[in-house]
Structure 1
Amino acid sequence: MNELNFYNNDLVTQVFSNLSIDKKRLPSSGLTESGVPSFVAEWLLDKIVPGIGNLSTLEHEKVNNMVMKAFPRKDDKERIKYQVQQGEEKKLIALLQVRVPLEKPSEEKQIPLASIPVLNLPECDIEPHIIEQNPLLLGRGIWGKITLNYAINERGKYNVNVCEFDPFQTSEVNIKDYGKCREKFTFEQWRDLLLCSMGLNPEDSAYNDESKIWILSRLLPLVESNYHVMELAPKGTGKSFFYENVNSKVKVISGGKITAPRLFFNGKTGEIGLLGTYDVAVLDEVQSLTFDNPDEIIGPLKTYLANGRYNRSGFADINSDCSLVLLANIELDAYQRPKNEDNLIKNLPKFFSETALLDRFMGIIPGWKIPKFQLNMRATQIGLKTDFFGEVLFNLRKDNRFYHYAQSHTRFISNVSGRDQIYLLKSASGFLKLFYPSLNLTEEEYLFNCLKPARFLRQQIHSLLYNLDDEYKQYEKEIIVDVM
């Protein structure tokens, strides 16, 4: 590594101050093993045991005591319920969600119900002012400190009641200041800071310049709204880990059966599905994914992927900027290349071979170019706090200057479809947001660090379409672009 581009912990601390954290703190704390996502765990560590390096024995003890008291384990559920029923006020740290039960007419006024998944309590009462102060509870929910008691509700019945709630506040985000911070780093230093902030060690010898770009491309669905992408990779590359830990706006669903109500809208309960609730929905283990009724799902899904809107069961249209990410395992040959390189989706469920659906994905992340994850590849440097990092990424969604830059600096040389052009530009815009948030860059930097990887992502989809459907042979086989 060039001496000018070595990982500089002092520089990160100097520039980002209390928005940075020593990434060694988290794995040595044991919090993630307790089921606590990184964006919550790092926030807690910084409040309870701030510092650098692995946790000391005393710090471990403080964290362990906090976990024992505040984070329920599987065996604790019934004990906590019993203690609350006996009149104790219990405090815990968990995810809290609220829904309004208007499934069927009732003579009584329906009141909102709180759900605490970790305790398997789906129908708790909740003080109205808590919902008013935390509207995000209505939907994906919020992590925070929950206080429970057992009280008589307005219907005159005893029930578990959420009487207090202290949400975890994410770090304040100022995108303009964030862009100024970027100017203090070289491209390589900034790229490695992003990688470290994802929880990976950029100095590990397994990561080369190319693999770092493809790992960071996993961030594109966060910085770009309605960014739909697949990642195909062998097992063990850590495809889902980051998505599970970055922010509560991201939801990961692993394999199994997906129903239309869960994905779009539940007409019986009135609940909006994944695509209308979260900012990023991730379907993991797609190679084993089944749809309860494919015909009921594929149509609305194609509509949604094309224009960010869907309709189901005669209800009003639902608009969403949720990005859909599909993660699937593929087999590699002896040269660590995909076994079915001419048809990367050969082992995916049959409906993915429908070209009209496939065309609506921005690209395919080449997970076969990403090293398999080992524990010694975890970050050991100073990176951005996960809660701050996640909020920065989502805040960058709102800025359309980056797409305009890509549009005005990209020239399409080969004959490709309008969708190829738009989706490639959207990827280039995403890379600009990641690497040059202040838009201070040269044309050469744009070409090599943004446009070329964006072109590669879309080329994977374009090649599949070209091979699967003669209709796409009206376009040239290769997407050729340059700066202008």
Structure 2
Amino acid sequence: MTSYNIDTYDSDHIRAVFGNLSIDKTRLPSSGLTGAGVPSFVAEWLLDKLVPGNGSLTATEADKVNAFVSKAFPRKDDVNVIKFRLTQGEIYKLIALLKVRVKLEEGKGEIPEPQAQIPILSLNQCTISTDLIERHEMLLRQGIWGKISLGLLSDGTPEIIDFDPFQCSKVDLQAYANCRAQFSTDQWRDLMFCSMGYNPQHPNYTHTAKTWILARLLPLVEANYHLMELAPKGTGKSYVYENISGKLSMVSGGKISRAQLFFNARTREVGLLGRHDVVVLDEVQSLTFDNPDEVIGPLKTYLASNRYNCGGYQDISSDCSLMLLANIELDNFLQPKNSNNLVVDLPYFFSETALLDRFAGIIPGWKIPKFTYDMAASGAGLKMDFFGEALLSLRRDNRYFTYAQQHTKFDKSATVRDQNAILKSASGFLKILYPHLNLTLMDYERDCLKPACELRQAIRDAEYTLDDEFRQLSQEICVEAY
């Protein structure tokens, strides 16, 4: 394998290989777009359209972006201003997230029309043509960010006249693999790292730290893959999930209802797990449910079988992955205070091994340094919308799991769930680091299988502490590449 000095991060090579799918990551922090609530996968697209170039924005470029933002991105308190302009016959153009929902009601005697929603303006009953919906079917799922042309019908109903999406819709995975072949493994790892928004040249980002930060991408590349990250505050656990794709949904702490997560019987709308590719629950240490048994039961079923049933309605199947983020306390040596039971400070239901066993692993976030401004990406990386879509597209390719199966040997210490978890984690690392599947057995063992085992070992350690049943097995899971 070609060695690579991180001090020679080659932005020119990245631009030569990926062309307009790459962007200088210093553009975004100097733009002020994230401060306006614009996710990175939208902001980088806009920057490339408005002020293409490299390096921090000039004063002129910043003024151009700010003028555009003030005009095109509405605030919540702009809704009455926009409504007034619509009543004056104006076609108002804005950039926002657009969703479409279809509400079925029996006994109405007519087929309901789909209704568009613009959440930032709290507009939930806009008319939209079926032609626009058929062209952009993702509107019916997570919704899409784009340029919306909004008008008003004669009866006072807001109307979506036109829509131009911003998000990358399709990735040529063979072309992506061909691009990977033009980088060494270390160069590609640093490109992935920079594309996430981190500076691969920062001395605090060791090889180990990079491995666990890249592990945050596993729920994107693997369908029905469920993972936790436990870390002290300030390591940037949620950053990538908030910015990489509109197909992810993030919920921060507090109380989560069964209707929100699974199915709303009143509106008959499928919940988060049925609509998104990844659902991220942040601040899990403060997570509560009104009635935990009503949530934990279907959650265990879903984590095990990829489907759930709520309130007697038909089964809902999904390939959504679940990511849990939580803060934990460290000792004076910056190690977890309860290293053999990392979930001890989480809500009590995570100490039920029947639930815990359904997670593939725990990312050791205490091995990731706290984030500071000089750790932000400063070279060329992949545009966030393309990067996110490429990762999500890989979840449908089974060749990586097959490779892992063919090159992994378990002994009797590994249960079926241990084996499935480790194989899926190893498959995920293959997709992130070796999408072209050109690697040696040593590469696989070092970069994929070993971290996959470490992720799962944290689950086994907690189970061994919590439940006598697991003490019948050895505490260590033994796996080897062959």
TM range (shorter): over 0.9
Displacement after TM superposition at 1:105 (Å): 3.8
Q: Which of 34, 39, 46 is the aligned partner of 2:48?
A: 46
| Matched AA of 1:468 | L
Identify the range of structure 1 (172-181 vs 89-98) with the bigger mean alpha-carbon deviation. 172-181
Aligned residue for 2:157, secondary structure, equals strand
Q: Distance in 2 between matches of 1:128 and 1:172?
A: 22
Match of residue 406 from structure 2: 408
Displacement after TM superposition at 1:377 (Å): 1.0
Displacement after TM superposition at 1:301 (Å): 0.6
Match of residue 137 from structure 2: 135
Q: 1:181 aligned to 2:183?
A: no
Kindly provide the CA deviation profile for residues 192-245 of structure 1, in whole angstroms up to 9, marking residues without a partner as x.
Answer: 100000011011111111000000000000000001000001111111110011
Q: 1:14 aligned to 2:12?
A: no
Match of residue 367 from structure 1: 365
Alpha-carbon distance change, 147 to 246 in structure 1, aligned in 2, over 3 angstroms: same
Displacement after TM superposition at 1:411 (Å): 1.2
Alignment of 1:18-29 (within 5 A): 18-29=20-31
Aligned residue for 1:64, secondary structure, equals helix
| Matched AA of 1:372 | K
Identify the range of structure 1 (160-169 vs 63-72) with the bigger mean alpha-carbon deviation. 160-169
Alpha-carbon distance change, 345 to 300 in structure 1, aligned in 2, over 3 angstroms: same
Aligned residue for 1:158, secondary structure, equals coil
| Matched AA of 2:116 | A
| Matched AA of 1:358 | L
Alignment of 1:159-308 (within 5 A): 159-170=157-168, 172-308=170-306
Displacement after TM superposition at 1:92 (Å): 0.1
Q: 1:319 aligned to 2:321?
A: no
| Matched AA of 2:138 | L
| Matched AA of 2:344 | K
Displacement after TM superposition at 1:3 (Å): 5.6
Q: Distance in 2 between matches of 1:4 and 1:239?
A: 27
Q: Distance in 2 between matches of 1:435 and 1:24?
A: 24
Contact 2:340–2:458 (Cα < 8 Å) also in 1: no
Displacement after TM superposition at 1:104 (Å): 5.8
Alpha-carbon distance change, 222 to 370 in structure 1, aligned in 2, over 3 angstroms: same
Displacement after TM superposition at 1:4 (Å): 4.8
Match of residue 58 from structure 2: 56
| Matched AA of 2:88 | Q
Q: Distance in 1 between matches of 2:459 and 2:417?
A: 11
Aligned residue for 1:201, secondary structure, equals coil
- Structure 1 residue runs without a partner (length 5+): none
Contact 1:427–1:454 (Cα < 8 Å) also in 2: yes
Q: Distance in 2 between matches of 1:102 and 1:407?
A: 44
Match of residue 80 from structure 1: 82
Contact 1:358–1:461 (Cα < 8 Å) also in 2: yes
| Matched AA of 2:294 | E
Q: Distance in 1 between matches of 2:156 and 2:184?
A: 61
Q: Distance in 2 between matches of 1:38 and 1:146?
A: 19
Q: Distance in 1 between matches of 2:5 and 2:36?
A: 39
Structure 2 length normalisation: TM-score?
0.97
Q: Distance in 1 between matches of 2:182 and 2:89?
A: 56
Match of residue 108 from structure 2: 106
Structure 1 length normalisation: TM-score?
0.97
| Matched AA of 2:121 | L
Q: Distance in 2 between matches of 1:227 and 1:2?
A: 32
Q: Which of 318, 334, 343 is the aligned partner of 1:336?
A: 334
Match of residue 447 from structure 2: 449
Q: Which of 37, 45, 63 is the aligned partner of 2:39?
A: 37
After the TM superposition, which segments of 4 or more aligned residues of structure 1 sit over 3 Å from their partners? 1-5
> What is the percent sequence identity of the aligned residues?
59
Displacement after TM superposition at 1:158 (Å): 1.9
Q: Distance in 1 between matches of 2:231 and 2:209?
A: 12
Match of residue 67 from structure 2: 65
Aligned residue for 2:263, secondary structure, equals coil
Q: Distance in 1 between matches of 2:470 and 2:359?
A: 15
Q: Distance in 1 between matches of 2:331 and 2:85?
A: 57
Displacement after TM superposition at 1:183 (Å): 1.7
Q: Distance in 2 between matches of 1:310 and 1:65?
A: 47
Identify the range of structure 1 (108-117 vs 316-325) with the bigger mean alpha-carbon deviation. 108-117
Q: Distance in 1 between matches of 2:35 and 2:51?
A: 18
Report how many residues are paired: 480
| Matched AA of 1:118 | I
Kindly provide the CA deviation profile for residues 389-425 of structure 1, in whole angstroms up to 9, marking residues without a partner as x.
Answer: 1111011111111111111111113522111011101
Aligned residue for 2:63, secondary structure, equals helix
| Matched AA of 1:131 | I
Contact 1:103–1:268 (Cα < 8 Å) also in 2: no
Aligned residue for 1:26, secondary structure, equals coil
Q: Which of 464, 479, 484 is the aligned partner of 2:477?
A: 479
Q: Distance in 2 between matches of 1:191 and 1:83?
A: 50
Alpha-carbon distance change, 330 to 450 in structure 1, aligned in 2, over 3 angstroms: same
Q: 1:378 aligned to 2:380?
A: no
Q: Distance in 2 between matches of 1:421 and 1:475?
A: 14
Contact 1:12–1:382 (Cα < 8 Å) also in 2: yes
Q: Distance in 1 between matches of 2:93 and 2:450?
A: 51
Q: Distance in 2 between matches of 1:313 and 1:105?
A: 21
Aligned residue for 1:421, secondary structure, equals helix
Aligned residue for 1:460, secondary structure, equals helix
Aligned residue for 2:30, secondary structure, equals helix
Aligned residue for 1:140, secondary structure, equals coil
| Matched AA of 1:93 | I
Kindly provide the CA deviation profile for residues 150-184 of structure 1, in whole angstroms up to 9, marking residues without a partner as x.
Answer: 113xxxx3211111111114164111121121122
